[in-house]
Amino acid sequence: MVIINKCPKCQGTLVFANNLDHEEELSCINCGLSTPTMDNFHKLSGTEMLMMLADKNDSYARAQTITKS
């Protein structure tokens, strides 16, 4: 497990580890936000992984806003 940055959602600790299916993913210890797993995950840079998390967080926020409306 490697600590690499702060979560864009809650500023919690992000870790790079294997999930239950033994696939690598980047996930937050505090809120559980995680990157989707994929075959070419190892080709992504750290910045690209953080952008994926930020996009996922933004998508959740938009969905909650639409649901409340």
Give this prediction's pTM: 0.51
pLDDT digits (tens, 9 = 90+) for 10-53: 888 888 777 777 777 778 888 888 876 555 555 666 677 777 77
pLDDT digits (tens, 9 = 90+) for 43-64: 666 677 777 777 777 776 777 7
| Domain boundaries, position 36 | 2-68
10: burial class by Cβ within 10 Å (0-12, 13-18, 19+)?
middle
At 58, give phi and psi (nearest 5°).
-60, -40
* Number of domains forming the structure of the chain: 1
Torsion sign over Cα 40, 46, 51, 52: positive
